[in-house]
Every structure is written in structure tokens, then in C-alpha cells.
Structure 1
Amino acid sequence: MKAVVDDKIPYIRQAIESVADEVTYLPGREISRRDVADADVLIVRTRTRCDRDLLHGSRVQMIATATIGYDHIDTAWCEANGIEWTNCPGCNAASVAQYVQSALILLSRRHHRPLRGMTMGIIGVGNVGSRVAEMAAGMGIDVLLNDPPRAEAEGGGTFVTLGELAGRADIITLHTPLARGGKHPTYHLADAELFAQLEKKPWLLNTSRGEVADTGALIDALAGGRIADAVIDVWEHEPDIDRRLLAAAYLTTPHIAGYSADGKANASRMAMQAVCRHFGIAMPCTIEPPAPPCPTVTAPTIDDALLTIYDPRRDSDALRQDPTRFEWLRGNYPMRREAGAYNIILTK
């Protein structure tokens, strides 16, 4: 078996090298038709567009993307041409929830508003949105759920319309996949029409896909006061991000909300398990994240402890200092563990 692997996927080398005869590691954006011509399997991230242009005439029989999203894979073409593909649903849900939680703590302090009793509208209630809803409820935040596909499948009692959410939410957070067509498209779902319906000048967070929000409309809504503040982790046209939005939003990070070491290890493990299933081989080893260097956190409050474990201002400051390093910051992201990896001691 020959494998071509994105060189920024962590914790996977021992596993893939144990089962493949030959492994080639390449930057995701640079994986070419020539590179995959005689490969049997690709293990990629969102930066590799897997379509006819890349795959036609190749030996590839399987693609495993170590990500939740799979809009970089032309799934219809792959299926029509006998190429199996898999993604890693839920792999970094806890990581994104950690990011959102830390961002909310910072927003609460910045605006001098306690989170308890606020209303959060969650648009997209899959693995990530569900985890965020659980986290928010635990902080005393009232939660509104918007997910039209789920509402159709399960009945509307649990879910609200987008218009109702826009009228009631103090916080709006986006967790949809990117769908440009179909019955429920999400491309530019957060647009001028939605922003015109906002009643409570909410905070807006986007950790889904940049194209789910209309950048120009979002900038206008921030400038006009329809949105009080924004946290932006995902951008249209990454890595060539809009400098106006970079300046207008409070926290601006380089698509790393899901980049905890825990989430990365989950993704690498799930991708390798899929490869092993496809080729009928046993999983050769476990894939776990490294232990944190300082596993005990002492802080006066739980909010302080959570910000000690992960403070998104560090990532935001790094991107603001040099937006041209967007891809470098993603590819060289420091090890970040989730709260469950720590022993937390509160002093108050």
C-alpha cells in the first residue's frame, strides 16, 4: 500500500508507517495529480481539494480526511468512480466547545455582562453544535437551537426558526457545514437579511466555515451596531482573509478552534481506523495526545482556570501581528489540551 499524507496531520506517522509499504508526506495545498497517481490512499485535511482534477487516472481507492468537514471532497465524483471517502464527525467537537467557552468568558468580561441568563442561538446542531449547547447550558445560558434538517427529521418542537432566533438571541454561534446547494444551503446563511432581523445586538461567533457568513454584510452589521461584537475563527477565501473583518472583530484566529491536541488525536485515530477497515488490516497502535507539561492548574475561579488552560487572545494576537502567516500559524499550532487533561484547584 502506498499512502500520501498531509504533513501537518499529527500523531499519525507511527500508525500509517506500520501498515503502508510507502508513505509520502506533503503540504496539503501542494498535493498534486502527479503525487497521487500511484497512491492507494490519501489522508488529508481541508487544504487538499479531492476531485477529478486531482484523482482522475490515479490508483487511489480511498480518501480519509482527518477533519469533520468534507466540502473539499467532490463526494459525488468519488462515489461514481469507486473511491471510498471518510471524514471524522465529532472528532473536535469538544475542542470547538472549549474555544467557544473561553471566548464567551472573555466577551462577558469585555462587555461587563454575566453569561448566566443570556440567550444563545446555535445555528447548526450536529456533533459540535450539540456539544456547545451542553457547555452553554452548564454555564446558565438559555439555548435556542436552529437546525432545519433535524427539525424536519425529528419534529419542530425542539427547534426554532432562524427568524425567531434572530429576534431573541444575545449570542449567535454558527456550527453548520458548508452547503452551496440542496434543500438547506448554508452558503452566506448569515447575511444582510438575517442581520436586519437582529433585535438584541448580539455577539456573533463563527467557528464553522468562513463562507457561512457574508463577510461584507458582517462588516456592515458590526459597523452599524446590529452586531455588538464578533469572534471569527473561519474566513472566506482562507488564507487570504479580509483585513477589514480582522480589524472589526474582537477575537480573530486562524481556523484553529478545533485544534486541541485531543481533537487532533481523535481525528488521526478515526482516519487510521477507517484506512484499516478499508484494507482489512488491524489498527497497529493507539493514538493519544501527549500529556500537558503542567497538569495542575491553580486559579481563583473556574473561569480563570479555563482561561489559563486556553486563552484565545494568544492566537488572535498572533494572527493580527501578521495575517500573511495564517497557514503557518495553523500548521505550527502549539500543543493545546482540553480541560479534562488537567487537575484544577480553585482557591476561592
Structure 2
Amino acid sequence: MKIVVDDKIPYLEGVLERYFSEVVYYSGRDISSNIVADADALLIRTRTKCNEKLLAGSNVKMIATATIGHDHIDKEYCKEHGILWTNAPGCNAFGVVQYVLCFLSLISLKGYGSLQGKTLGIVGVGEVGKRLAAVAPYLGLNVLKNDPPRARKEGEDGFVSLDELVVKSDIISVHVPLNRDGEDRTFGLFNEGLFGLFQQPKVFINASRGEVVHEPSLKEAIKAGKMRHVALDVWCNEPEIDKELMELVDIATPHIAGYSLEGKANGTAASVNSILHFFGLGGGDKWYPSSLPSLENKITFGSSKNVEDEVLSCILKTYNIESDNDNLRRNPDDFESLRGNYGVRREFSYYKVVNVKDERAAACLNGLTFKVE
């Protein structure tokens, strides 16, 4: 059997070769119909568009994407042609949460002020949104949630309309899938009309899909003073991003919000196990990378009297979001290379915070999943 693999999926060296007679690796954008014609399976990321153009006439029986997102897979075509597809829901969810909280910590310490009592509006309460909603209160944030599919299924209690969320929130963080049509269309969700509801400058974060935001309207909203701070990890037309928009936002990164080491390992493992299960390989064992890169994991809690600022400083010591911002600004045309050669980032749960003498701080850090001493 043959499997075609995106060469940027980590921790796979020698793994699939135990089960497949032929394993070939390509850049995700270079995987073509000629390459997959005689393949039994694909292991991909979002850069490979799995549609009729790629799959017609091929031998592909199974597609595994090592990502939460799956809008790059034509589900109808797969269904009609008996091709199973799987994604990796939740694999990098906390990596995205880390990204959001690092951005909020950064702006708080650089002049935005305390997060205590601010209202965070979470648009899209799936795997990422649920985790963000669970930990945000530990930083003193009030949470509003908008998720029409969940509200229809579970009842309106606990959810608000998008218009209400936009009006009442100080901070808006977007975590929806990209739906181009239908009742829950998210394509162009944040547009001139929605930005027009902003009654005071807000913090805006998009770590979902670029096309969820109408970028010309966002640029006009920023220029009109409707935004206080903006972080964009995702862009329309990636990797050919709007450089004018990049210059207007506070933090610009190359679609790496979920690129924690844990998130990458989880996505790879979920995909490998799906493939092994589908083809009846591996004896049902749950494969996981045997060794992961390590970093210094001890953080010393500061001694200042401002406990909130010390907690935010601990958050920022896990991930230098400004470095990713600087790298993209220096090399915006290297968007794909910056993604493909991303360094090691560990999530909060990897770190141990020592010298924590304040009970409130300890409770907060524990709630954020840090280990505390």
C-alpha cells in the first residue's frame, strides 16, 4: 500500500514505513493528482485541497488531516466516492488558547490595563472556544459566548446573539470554522455591518480562518478608530497576505496559533491512529510520539505586589508572541517557510511555577493548567 504525506507533519520519521510498502513525502501545496493517483491514503494539513481535481480517478480510500480544520476537504465528493476522511478535533485547541492569552497578557502589561472585569466575547465555542471560556475567568474576565449551532442544539441559555456579543464585549476572539454557505455561514462574518456596531474601540483577535473576516472592512474599522488592539493569525489568500493590513494590526503571525508542540504531537497521533485503524494495522495500539523536544520548564514567580501582572508575566514566559510577529513583519513573503520551520513551543501545562506565595495567584495559575509550587 502507498501513503502520501505532507512533509511538514512532525514526529513521523520511520513510523508509517512499518505499515506501508511505499511512503512518499511532499510539500502540502505540491501534492497533485499525479502523486495521489495510485495512493491508498493521504496524511495532510490544510494546504492540500482534497477535491475532485486532486482525487478524481485515484485509488485513495482514506484522508487524514492532522488539523482541527477541515474546510480544505470536499466532504460531498468524498462521500459520493466512498472516501473516508478524518480530522483531529481539539488537537491544538490549548495552543490557540495560549496564543490568545499571551496576546491579552502582552497588551495588558503594555498599557491596555487590567483584564479584571473586562468582557471577553468568544465567537465559536467548539474545542478552542470551550477551553478559552473555561480558563478566561481565572484572569478576571467575564465571558459571553456565541455559537448558533450549539444554541439550537442545547438551548439559548448560556449563549448570546452575535450582535449582542459585539456590543457588550471589550475583547472579541473568533474561533469559528469556515462555512462558505448555509444557515451557519461564517464566510465574511465580520464585515462592515458588524464592525459598525462597535460603540467603543475593542480588542479583536482572529485565530480561526482568514476568510471569516472581510479584510477591507477590517482595515477601514482600524483606520476609523474602532479597534484598540488587533491580533491576526489567519489571513485571506494565505500565504499571499495583505501587507497593508499587516502594518495596521498589533500582532501579525503566520497561522501558527495552534502550533504548540503538544498540539502538533496530538494532531499527528490522531491522524496516524485513524489511518492504522482504518486499514486494520498496528494491532489496535494507540501510537504517540515516543520522545518530544524539551525546554527549561521552571518559571520563578516574581515578588512585586501586583499579583495580576506577575501572573501575566508567567503566561508570557511560555511563549514569545512578539518574536513570531517580528519574524513575519521582517519576512512576509516567507509565510509558508515560517510555518513549516516553526520552533518548539510548549503549553502552560508543561511549566512549573515556583515561589508562588499568594493563594490567589496559585489558584489562578492552577486554573490555567500550570504546575505550581
What is aligned with 1:341?
350
CA 1:140–1:296 in structure 2 vs 1: closer, same or farther (change >3 Å)? same
Q: Residue 293 of structure 1: which of 292, 295, 304 is its match? A: 295
User: How far did residue 91 of structure 1 move?
Assistant: 0.5
Q: Tell me, yes or no, if the aligned pair for 1:168 and 1:199 is still in contact at 8 Å.
A: no
CA distance in 2, matches of 1:182, 1:57: 29
In terms of mean alpha carbon deviation, does 172-181 or 14-23 score higher? 14-23
Any conservation in 2 of the 1:265–1:288 contact (CA below 8 Å)? no
Q: CA deviation at 1:14?
A: 3.2
- Residue equivalent to 2:311: 302
How far does residue 299 in structure 1 lie from its aligned partner after superposition? 4.2
- Greater CA drift, 184-193 or 288-297: 288-297
Deviation at 1:292? 2.1
Q: Which runs of 4+ in 1 moved over 6 A?
A: none
Q: Could you report, residue by residue, the CA deviation over 1:31-69 in whole angstroms, capped at 9, with x for unpaired residues?
A: 011110111000000000001111111111000000000
For residue 256 of structure 2, what is the aligned residue in structure 1?
A: 256
Separation (CA, whole Å) in 2 of partners of 1:272 and 1:29? 20
Letter in 1 for 2:342: Y
What residue is the counterpart of 1:187 in the other structure? Answer: 187
User: 1:208-227 maps to which residues of 2 (within 5 A)?
Assistant: 208-227=208-227
CA contact (8 A) 1:4 1:24 kept: yes
User: Number of aligned pairs?
Assistant: 348
What is the alpha-carbon distance in structure 1 between the residues aligned to residue 251 and residue 286 of structure 2?
A: 40
**Residues 1:276 and 1:100: Cα distance change in structure 2 (over 3 Å):** same
> Matched residues in 2 for 1:119 and 1:288: separation?
41
Q: Is the 8 A contact 2:78 2:84 kept in 1?
A: yes
The aligned residue for residue 110 of structure 2 is 110
Following TM superposition, by how much is the alpha carbon of 1:73 offset from its aligned partner in structure 2, in angstroms?
0.5
Query: Residue in 2 aligned with 1:247?
Result: 247
Q: The residue matched to 1:315 in structure 2 has which SS?
A: helix
* One-letter code aligned to 1:343: K
Q: Distance in 2 between matches of 1:80 and 1:111?
A: 54
Structure 1: runs of 5+ lacking an equivalent: none
Offset at residue 198 of structure 1 (A): 1.3
Equivalent pair of 1:90/1:127 in contact (CA under 8 Å): yes
Using the TM superposition, name which of 179-188 and 283-292 deviates more.
Answer: 283-292
Structure 2 matches for 1:319-330, cutoff 5 A?
A: 319-330=328-339
TM-score if structure 2 supplies the norm length? 0.91
* 8 Å CA contact 1:309, 1:337 repeated in 2: yes
SS where residue 257 of structure 2 aligns? coil
- The 1-side partners of 2:251 and 2:26 are apart by 31
Q: TM-score, normalization: structure 1?
A: 0.97
Q: Compute the displacement of 1:297 (Å).
A: 2.2
Q: Which residue of 1 aligns with 2:81?
A: 81
Measured in 1, the distance between the counterparts of 2:300 and 2:124 equals 35
Q: Which residue identity lines up with residue 221 of structure 1 in the other structure?
A: A
Q: Which moved more, 1:293-302 or 1:247-256?
A: 293-302
Post-superposition shift, 1:87? 0.4
Equivalent residue number for residue 331 of structure 1: 340
Q: 1: distance between equivalents of 2:182 and 2:281?
A: 37
- Segments of structure 2 that go 5 or more residues without pairing to the other structure are 303-309, 358-373
SS at structure 2 position matched to 1:14: coil
Q: Deviations over 1:81-121 (max 9, x none)?
A: 01000001110011000010100001212333200100010
Distance 1:288 1:125 in 2: 32
Report the AA paired with residue 331 of structure 1. Answer: G
SS in 1 for 2:272: helix
2:34 match:
34
Partner Cα separation in structure 1 for residue 95 and residue 84 of structure 2: 27
Deviations 1:164-187 (A, max 9, x none): 111100000000000001111000
